[in-house]
DNA sequence: GTGGACCCTCCCACGGGGGGAGGGTCCACC
DNA sequence: GGTGGACCCTCCCCCCGTGGGAGGGTCCAC
């Protein structure tokens, strides 16, 4: 092996490692990949051929969008730790893909609709409703999943009990971590209702009646934010105060039609004012 | 409507639009969403309820990762332009998804292999080869696609002409824009060979013989960068100079086995030195 | 009138570089 | 032994969108 003393200048090393000179200098400054020798007089950086392996690895991981800090840890870490770090990165990318897919679905609708599609906003009144519900907590991005799980639990709990469609979903006004959501249905008639709640682990939730603003969304649930956008804009433009929880009525849902035909009624109750209902 | 004079402070407005105060101030500074009124004495920003629509739209588009400049253009633009901008964003997200998928595939292998998998590196010699090839130009990320197209054209061009497996792919040493690639095969025997090239639009490429460094990759082509990483590291660690083009021999490829069993031999010729072959 | 919630501006930080100014060094060729 | 051009150095500012915090003013309900 002759690789001990014929060092490479930064430019040459950069070319053969598919990195830029700027990058190599940056990796030196940050301690990620210091050159084998630095001329104390001129400051020139000289790299050993044996450093090509690490440099190529850095280039590869950067192409995979792995943060420099993680690359540094990966190079320094031993075997079990290294695999753990890479798995974490893999999970990060996988999650970004799934979020991007949701974004894509929304952008599809926005682009096809030639901008923000028009939603017809209806001001009305809702009666008081008493729902048998199951509850869950969801983070952002888990809403669809958790809501679906709630529907399953609710239908299991309601088994044999008559209930009036549609199913209702209840959500907070603000999206964020630890959202408390619920899915429920109005049971048909008073007989045995209390029993249902006791036996199946269902709870009761009373939705007060009053003035509401509502709209109807046709399409997959990933596009619901567009409808909420229009709905909340209409609420605030009128100076109204929305009241949690927001209610979704699933008029046509999964299993009944293709996603393009799903129909969801979005209802938000607002504070009683003189103008509402006029 | 009573929305003309009951303005909202920045904090209240931020909460109802799902934006942070910092964001709203930033959007004011950049002209994207200036408040309806600014108190000249105190600098306090006051927002009109009617601004909630734009603010919610900004929040929505930011959640879709649309850049602020594009959001500004979208809000300002008329109908055909707006749809065009949104389509461009959609395409951007779609492309990021496809790139992330390639990244994910590589990270899968890295994570499963518990780090960088070990490739056995072989130093050897290759004979001179004369290939009938078709050529193409590819950008980064188009390699698999363009190579596949070349294979199709080559097989069509070779129709009826005997050739010796494997197929070979030829690639430059540096990835980048406008890579000139080729796919070819050794035709069997001399008879009619010139005819093949003339008739089918194939060209000839002569691969010089000499010392080579090689390795074998098992798995999908998206994971080839890992093998190249190991191969080039081995080349440079030994102080050898690689010579373009890099050659891939497709020993087991699509249509013959599932992707996990595809077998590809990677060969890079190096400059003749005293050590090689010893 | 006072406390606490709210608001202001200004500066710095992140990550992962790119661009460029201003100036020194290396080496091959003449 | 020059010299020209390619190469290298440090230092600073820029991108994007946002968060954090310092230091200080304002609003409003009790």
CB B244 within 8 A of CB B271: no
Q: Residue A180 CA to C18 C1' — how many Å?
A: 45
User: Alpha-carbon distance B225 to A239, whole Å?
Assistant: 58
Per-residue pLDDT at B109: 87
Per-residue pLDDT at A4: 43
A62 Cβ contacts chain D strand, under 7 Å: no
Tokens of B199: 């008739």
CB B215 within 8 A of CB B120: yes
Per-residue pLDDT at B209: 94
User: Alpha-carbon distance A140 to A179, whole Å?
Assistant: 8
Per-residue pLDDT at B4: 42
User: Minimal Cα distance from B113: which residue of A?
Assistant: A83
Kindly give the interhelix angle for B68-76 and B52-63, rounded to the nearest 10 degrees: 140
pLDDT class of B174 with cuts at 50, 70, 90: confident
CB A151 within 8 A of CB A183: yes
Sign of CA dihedral A189, A191, A194, A200: negative
Percent of chain A's residues with pLDDT above 90: 59
Tokens of B51: 């601004």
Decide if A174 and B97 are in contact by the 8 Å CB cutoff: no
Mark residues 7-26 of chain A whose C-beta is closer than 7 A to nucleic acid strand D.
9-12, 21, 25
Average pLDDT over residues B60-85: 91
Buried b or exposed e, range A145-170, using 16+ CB within 10 angstroms: ebbeebbebbeebbeebebeebbbbb
B12 Cβ contacts chain C strand, under 7 Å: yes
Shortest-distance nucleotide from A24 CA to C1': C17
Nearest Cα neighbor of A116 from A223, A27, A209 is A223
Q: What is the DSSP secondary-structure string of A17-81?
A: HT--HHHHHHHHHTTSS--SEE-TTT--EEE-GGGHHHHHHHHHHHHTT--HHHHHHHHHS-HHH
Considering CB atoms only, which of B79, B86, B103 is closest to A64? B103
Q: Which residue reads 């830029």 in tokens?
A: A20
A63: left (phi over 0), alpha (psi -120 to 50) or beta: alpha
Decide if B1 and A239 are in contact by the 8 Å CB cutoff: yes
Provide, as residue numbers in chain B, all residues whose Cβ is less than 8 Å from the Cβ of A274. Answer: none
C-alpha dihedral, A179 to A185 to A190 to A191, nearest 10°:
-110
Mark residues 34-93 of chain B whose C-beta is closer than 7 A to nucleic acid strand C.
42-45
Residue A141 in this model has a pLDDT that exceeds 90: no
Q: Indicate the DSSP class of residue B115.
A: S
A116 Cβ contacts chain C strand, under 7 Å: no
- Among B7, B47, B90, most A C-beta atoms within 10 A, so best to mutate, is B90
Question: Helix (H, G, I), strand (E, B), or coil: what is residue B141?
Answer: coil
Considering CB atoms only, which of B2, B93, B101 is closest to A107? B93
Provide, as residue numbers in chain A, all residues whose Cβ is less than 8 Å from the Cβ of B63. Answer: 103, 225
Q: Which of the given ranges, A78-82, A139-143, B232-236, has the highest pLDDT on average?
A: B232-236
Provide, as residue numbers in chain B, all residues whose Cβ is less than 8 Å from the Cβ of A101. Answer: 97
CA distance A256 to chain B (A): 29
B26 Cβ contacts chain D strand, under 7 Å: yes
Number of residues in chain A:
278
Q: Residue A37 CA to D11 C1' — how many Å?
A: 22
Q: For chain A, what is the mean pLDDT?
A: 87
pLDDT, greater one: B120 or A277: B120
- Among A11, A14, A52, A108, most B C-beta atoms within 10 A, so best to mutate, is A52
User: Alpha-carbon distance B151 to B163, whole Å?
Assistant: 13
Residue B3 in this model has a pLDDT that exceeds 50: no
């Amino acid at each position: 092996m002759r690789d001990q003393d014929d060092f490479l200048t930064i430019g040459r090393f950069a070319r053969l490692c598919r990195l830029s000179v700027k990058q190599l200098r940056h990796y030196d400054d940050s301690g990620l990949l210091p050159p084998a020798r630095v001329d104390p007089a001129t400051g020139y950086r000289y790299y050993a051929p044996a450093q090509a392996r690490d440099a190529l690895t850095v280039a590869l991981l950067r192409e995979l969008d792995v943060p420099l800090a993680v690359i540094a840890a990966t190079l320094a870490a031993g075997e079990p730790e290294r695999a753990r770090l890479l798995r974490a990165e893999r999970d990060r990318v996988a999650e970004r893909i799934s979020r991007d897919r949701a974004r894509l679905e929304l952008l599809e609708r926005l682009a096809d609709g030639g901008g923000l599609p028009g939603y017809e906003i209806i001001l009305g009144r809702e009666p008081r409703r008493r729902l048998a519900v199951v509850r869950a907590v969801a983070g952002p991005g888990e809403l669809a999943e958790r809501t679906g799980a709630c529907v399953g639990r609710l239908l299991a709990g309601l088994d044999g009990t008559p209930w009036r469609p549609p199913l209702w979903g209840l959500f907070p006004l603000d999206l964020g971590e630890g959202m408390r959501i619920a899915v429920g249905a109005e049971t048909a008639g008073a007989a045995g209702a209390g029993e249902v709640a006791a036996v199946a682990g269902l709870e009761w939730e009373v939705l007060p009646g009053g003035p509401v603003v509502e709209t109807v969304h046709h399409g997959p649930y990933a596009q619901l934010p567009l409808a909420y956008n229009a709905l909340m804009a209409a609420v605030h433009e009128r100076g109204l105060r929305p009241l949690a929880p927001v209610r979704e009525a699933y008029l046509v849902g999964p299993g009944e039609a293709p996603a393009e035909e799903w129909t969801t009624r979005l209802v938000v109750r607002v504070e009683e004012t003189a103008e509402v209902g006029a």
